Amino acid sequence: MFTLFKKEVQGFLNSLIGYIVMIVFLVMIGLFLWVFPLEFNILDNGFANLDGLFILAPFIFLFLIPSITMRSFADEKKSGTLELLMTQPLTDIRVIMAKFLAGVILVIFSLVPTLVYYFSVYKLGLPQGNLDSGSIWGSYIGLIFLGACFVSIGVFASSLTDNQIVSFILAVFISFFVYMGFEFIYTFILSGKAGLIVESLGLNAHYSSMSRGVIDTRDVIYFISVTGLFILLTKLSLESRKW
């Protein structure tokens, strides 16, 4: 499994796609935080916080992560190497986990450079360091969990088809629905306790909870459960080839 994981990571880093994803993510976040005269601009607003980063990042991830994962199994199917891969002394779940963990590592790699923004805002605070570090670190943890969920959805979408474009579109659609869909249902269709229950099924509710700086075990269990669900669905999708 480690060999396959290493191969997947090297595959990302030895190709343009991995670097393009990280560069696009950093450039887009940087432009919104420091250049564009919008509500997220730190210098224009004059507040020492990184709220804009954690509001924008999930929506950028909605498109960038599917572009990472779209080739996970779709490319293997199209090239005919999937069956060869599955004949190796590895279980389906180990193959899936290797591809999933490689995607998560790339997400973390893309987040590490944003720490420059944190230290910049830390230095710009008046007095220096006048920012809510607990909320920021909670948001980073939430963003990693959210990225892991999107990766698991992307890997699942890739297992359904041998077309990378179809895989990308499926992953974007499913990720968007799981992230914002339940909130839309709560806002426009349901209300009261039933609506709150539906809203709590979405990723956004738990990500927002973590962004307050409180790591609730219920939120952690939720993210792990959603990730595990899509990994299980990927396993079932791959097993269906034997039916």
Q: What is the pLDDT of residues 111-127, one digit of tens each?
A: 999 999 888 888 877 77
pLDDT tens digits, one per residue of 1-59: 667 777 777 777 777 777 887 888 888 898 888 888 878 888 777 677 788 889 999 99
Our count of domains for the chain comes to 1
For residues 132 and 109, the model is more confident at 109
The DSSP result for 122-149, as a single string, is HHHSSSTT-S-HHHHHHHHHHHHHHHHH
Q: Token pair 């607990």 is at which residue?
A: 134
Would you state the pLDDT for residue 192?
67
Q: Beta-carbon neighbour count of residue 144 at 10 Å?
A: 16
Would you state the pLDDT for residue 150?
97
In the predicted model, what is the mean pLDDT of residues 208-225?
88
**CB contact set of 186 (below 8 Å; sequence gap of 6+):** 195, 196, 198, 199
- List the domain range (segments joined by +) for residue 63: 2-242
Question: Does position 98 have pLDDT exceeding 70, yes or no?
Answer: yes
